[in-house]
Structure 1
Amino acid sequence: MAITGFFFAGSQKGNCLLRLLPRPFRFPSPSLLFSPFLHYPMDVNSEEENAIILDFEENGVDGMIRAVAAEHPEAARKFFVNTPATMAKRTKGNAVKRKQELDDENAPPARGKAKKKKVEGSDTDEPPPSITYYVFIPKVLPATSSKRNSRSKISDDDKYLQRGPFSVPTAAPYSKLLDGIAAALPCPRTNILEAQIVWKPKKPKNAEKLALGKADGYQVLVTEMEEKAPSGRQVLLYMPAPVKPLEETPSWDTDDIPPPAFDFSELEPIGASDSVQQQKIAFNKATKDHRAELEETYPIGNHPSFPQLRVFTQPKTGFLFDLNNSRMGVWSAGMGAGTADRIKIIPATPATPAPAPALAPAPPPTPAIAPPQPSASLTDVLLATLLTQNGGGGVLGTLFPHLNPPAPTAPPPLIPLSRTAPPSPVKQHSVTLDMFCTDYGIDQTQHTLLKDVGFLPGDQTDSALNDDLRAAGFTLFGWKRIHNANVRFKVDLAAGRFD
């Protein structure tokens, strides 16, 4: 702070009090006025009451300042900070001010509406915005019957496996979302099928599903969620099950911490059992109606060539298909799931007895073998070659009549390619069961059993003992003896022994 004053210029002689002429000047601070040489008059007689006496030094700035203060004491007095009068006045003013402050503190607050103070927010007052995610993985739906009510809908709990929720800040990168999904499933992050993830907001429910599109689509998702209220920042993620790990976990105990593994059994249809027998029972129960429809349409013996089978005839190609237990199960399951083609049902033909098998054709006769002829040796061949070079071709046959081509070999016998039933050895005969048992050594016990089952000599028998024969009372070795005797009887009958 600079102070404007007056500079008094004049002449002086020695140390004496002089009255100088005023001249304006500026000096930087009033501290120059505070000098030990400046004091109030005590013993000096002065006409003015408040005259200031200066001990003027020759050729000094301080002396000039003191002279100015002596010339104009009122002007210079305001620059003196501490004087007895100012100190007393300041003390009195401070006492009044303190009293007013105490009164203001003890006074009751005013009833008027107080103005709200503007408080600047800080980063630690509110948490950063975040988005809540729910993960849905589709389950395997069980096979259903066609009689099920078409209006009934499958609930989301039966259709999807839900995981979550978990939150991810909006400022977080795309990798943080994958980490949250991997922790919620749980599974390794590398097993997530990122390209097949779709999303939609939780509200409204009829919102369209959109592809996530990895990092670029994630930024679009975050931008759309930031525009909504905090309560509306909820997203539903739909994705397939993670990839199954290639390496199987060892069955023994290891020191390594196992990685998080996804439980694929939770995706199986409700009611499925680990027991194979119970799975078959559940499958047969679900496909029972369709299977009964197929059995009614294709009964056993619907084709004359196969009286013991269910046969389906392809209408376009004419191919025949045996409708065994496996094919019937697959067809009925496809009808229940709605994936089987609607084939026109061909009316089943009534069962007719199969025609008697024809006799096997006789093998073709063996071709006659040419009579042996002498063959030419190597020497004869060389000699014939020399003669052929010198003469005509007719000379060789005249000179060497024994040079004939080698004897032809017999062709292999022709085997018929058609597979037909063996010739039936059974023909009209008069051999009774008693004669058969007597000639071939069948005991009385076996004779009685054969009579009970209605056996006649020459009937078609099998070497294996089936359940019906075992129930009738036959034993394994006893039935083998009967079968061998029946085979010998057919051979003897064909040879004409019983004619």
Structure 2
Amino acid sequence: MVLQTRAASSNTSACVESEDDALSYMSGPENDPSLASGKPDITAMVKATMADVPKAALRFKVTVPKIVEKQASERAKRQAAKQKKDQSKQKATTKGKNAITKKATPSSSKRKVLGDVSESDTGDVQEEVQPRKKAKPSVKEDDEDVVEAQEMYEITAYILVEKTLPPPQRGSRAAKVAEADKYLQRGPFKFKSTDSYSTFLVAISNALPCPVLNILQDKITWKPQSPKNATALLLGGATGYPALIETFRNKKPAIVMLTMPPPSKPADKPEWDTGEGKQTDKEFDYSNLELPSTGQHVVEQRIQFDKAVGPFKQELLAKYPIGNNALFPQKRIYADKMGSYWDLTDLRIGVWASHLARGTATLDSPPISNQFDQAGRIHPPRASTASIPREAAAPTIALTPTALAAAAIPAPAPAPALAATLTPAPATTAATPSLMELIMINMLQQQLSSSNANRLGTSAIAFPPSAALPPATASALAIVPDISHEPAEPRRAIPNIELTAFCSRYAIDDVDRKRLEKLEFRPGDDIEQLSPAEWRDFAGFLQLSWSRIIRKNKDFLLDIKAGVWKDN
């Protein structure tokens, strides 16, 4: 607030040279306006002095009641604001927050500048008071820097160390690898959200275990356990570590999956600090990263298969011993209700036992498999001369083509009817052959027509005692043709061909060739009798590739008949 005054007359102000002269000048009773009424007035004296000498106003403190009241009100407001600010700081401190405050330097109070005091024409001093603008309190953000304490929570981590997978063979598709064969699992371990990145690395090194320096930090990836299809993110060292922590702030459960390559192998085996003041000489076990070879896989599968089906195989062997059927004294035979027979080889026993383990067959009923289809049946041997009863002292006769032609052969009857009427032959006349002779001739004709092997002239057959054969007639010679001049078609034997040459000629790749080696296949083997447990589960063939192998094996047999292949 400024007091404006009007300057005194130029004559009076010109004669005043200093403040002391002005005071001495105004000390006279003739110049003292306060004595005009006969009573001294201090306010009038001050105003008169200020009007005459403006510089003298600096020596006086003007106390206007309105101004003093307003200044006191402003001081009270500032004091209340300061107390409120102090209370907020104290409250933040009690809640565990670290408050760093910067005290603002109070601005120095400015002196009040008095303006000119104007005097009216009547000599009265007019006082004009202008209200000062209220200063807005400046609140800076930097005045109070509050760092909130982080909320601490725990995170569980699992480590998946990558294994080195063998490259797929040339010309073959990459086989599917189980999840357990892709990674070596380590952990779990827990760390806190307030842990530093270096503490996090020490926890990883303890879980592996390995030195911290051997961890390939730039190749560590992470993702939450759920959802399963979450994208793996690169950890990114100390820069990306806070992003991992922030992801699990409000996520339950807080489980992270860490994927990393194996730690680098150190040149020596130094000890390292585990972070707990202890030294350890443990190192990462690299042998767990080695995948078993294909041969080891096959052996392991075979061992597991034997363990699973071994008890069932023993039950089958006990129920179907060798010689359990009189028609096949040297074999294990299964006979169904329709009179069909199957030879229980080791392959069929294994297939049957595997189905017993899965519950798809019983001890009395074999499984539905191509090993037990109609094509795999065996037939009982044909009736031979050893099974025909004869008298103890029966002489033997050499049956020649001439003797056979001499027998008058009637129309042959069905074999079951003949077998049903098989009785000791009665005595016959010289003109009629015995019934036993007719049966034997019929059997010989069947054998000759089926095998084309032996000549009738070289066989000696025992007959029961009978009369001498009658002389040959023209009709008998017409019925029994002379087949001694018919050439027998030689059967071509399967040549011994190497599997490599077989695969090269019929365009079989190396993958299928190795699968055939597992089956111990030789070109020309009857591979159609193999079960899926062998060619699919054991050897690793697929349905289409196995069909191609069967077709090419048939082509090989046809080429043998055509004379393409010869023994090496």
TM-score by length of 1: 0.29
Larger radius of gyration: 1
Q: What TM-score do the two structures reach when normalised by structure 2? A: 0.26
